[in-house]
Amino acid sequence: MSTSSHSKPSLTWLVRIPEVFVEWRDEILQGLGAESMKRLGKDYDVIRLSDPSVLFDSDAAKFLSWKLPIDHSWPCNPAKTDSFVEKAAQALAKKFAGESLQAVLTSALDPSSSNRYYRTLASNLRGRALQLFPDQVAQQSDVEGQHPKEPSLFCFVGKEGLFAGMQTPVLSGGFHAGGTKFIKQSAPEVISRAGAKLAEALHHLLLLPPMPPTGSHWLELGASPGGMTAELLARDYQVTAIDRAPLDARLKNAKGLTAIVGDAASFHPPSGVRYDAILSDMNGDASHSLAHVIRLSRYAKPSAVVIFTVKLPGSATYGEVNEKVASVITDARKGGLRLLQCKHLTYNRMEFTCFFQIAGK
């Protein structure tokens, strides 16, 4: 799975299990057939595997928000190590500067910590490392401008030391080291935290083409209060938003928006309308929500993308969650939706985001 020049795939990996699943950590690792070598930060584990393919094709894989082969590590306490940044950058350059890389990216193992020391350390390490790598690597300043299927060097620093590996963004789980960049959710103009969830989903969709181009028409189900709607409008999409509750007043008369107060079950698009994408974040039973999406998918254009939130109310165990998600994916396939990926995103709670493409058109 690793894109490094090693003749054999790495058997030691850094994986990120979101905090919301911490009580199922042992079951997730067991599902991967993994041995935990060390717990790092709040979300990360260093694990050893006999078969790395399970990180991508097992039931447990969807619980991982990030995964990286460990091609280089330096166990130490950076705060007590003289010239840590210089020594670490030199070691990275010695090992990786000759590889075919598109970028060098760094992150703190606990980026949410109020202590900024390791975030600053990660930034300083990247700055120094780029001085030692070829110019084409240093010139890759747009993180989301990376090619999804070309390798980057991802590096993590924390009180446990330095951990680094080469891998493509699509295999790792995002363009940014550890997932996605921080998305502010408390600003006065933010309607709801759902906007951050969609922003991350759209970030991830860049890894799973096709991304609907600017001006595309989205059908959004379960839109109220409008956090996701606002995010789509800010990206110059057209949106038909449906919910039994009204949208936030700040969206009144928004350009490109058609807001319908009503039930998705009884909605029928105007004659001749075809949507480029469908978005569903409806509450309640995921199977019922999916049925509305499947019915309305007949009004979508060929190969339209579908972003669907699998809500899991009342799911109390690891096994129940796996069964519910598997059932949704099976129903979607029967309904003509081809699964691109099912993933727990950073801004999801007890829910998964499924990316589908309408098949058979």
Q: Confidence band (pLDDT; 50, 70, 90) for 10?
A: confident
Q: Is the pTM of this model over 0.85?
A: yes
pLDDT tens digit sequence for 44-64: 999 999 899 999 999 999 999
Q: Confidence band (pLDDT; 50, 70, 90) for 315?
A: confident
Distances (CA, A) of 323 to 111, 167, 306, 338: 32, 31, 21, 19
pLDDT tens digit sequence for 121-133: 999 999 999 999 9
**28 with 318: CB under 8 angstroms?**
yes
Distances (CA, A) of 287 to 94, 193, 329: 52, 24, 10
pLDDT at residue 112 in the model: 72
Q: Confidence band (pLDDT; 50, 70, 90) for 14?
A: very high
Reading the block at residue 171, the tokens are: 């295999």
Mean model confidence pLDDT for the chain: 91
pLDDT at residue 79 in the model: 95
Q: What is the mean pLDDT of residues 171-175?
A: 94
pLDDT tens digit sequence for 67-82: 999 999 999 999 999 9
pLDDT tens digit sequence for 178-215: 987 766 665 667 778 888 899 999 989 999 978 999 99
**49 with 57: CB under 8 angstroms?**
no
In this chain, the answer to whether the domains covering 12-172 and 194-358 adopt an identical fold is no
State the alpha helices, DSSP H only, in 180-335: 194-205, 227-234, 286-296, 318-334
Bridge-based pairing of strands 44-48 and 12-16 is antiparallel
pLDDT at 3 over 60: no
pLDDT at residue 5 in the model: 42
Return the beta strands (E) in 51-183 as ranges. Answer: 66-69, 72-75, 104-108, 152-158, 161-167
Delimit the domains of the chain by residue range: 12-172, 194-358
Domain 194-358 carries which CATH code? 3.40.50.150
**20 with 114: CB under 8 angstroms?**
no
pLDDT at residue 174 in the model: 93
pLDDT at 4 over 50: no
Strand partners, 239: 218, 257
pLDDT at residue 37 in the model: 93
pLDDT tens digit sequence for 93-104: 999 999 999 999
- Under CATH, which architecture does the 12-172 domain have? 2-Layer Sandwich (3.30)
pLDDT at residue 179 in the model: 83
pLDDT at 229 over 70: yes
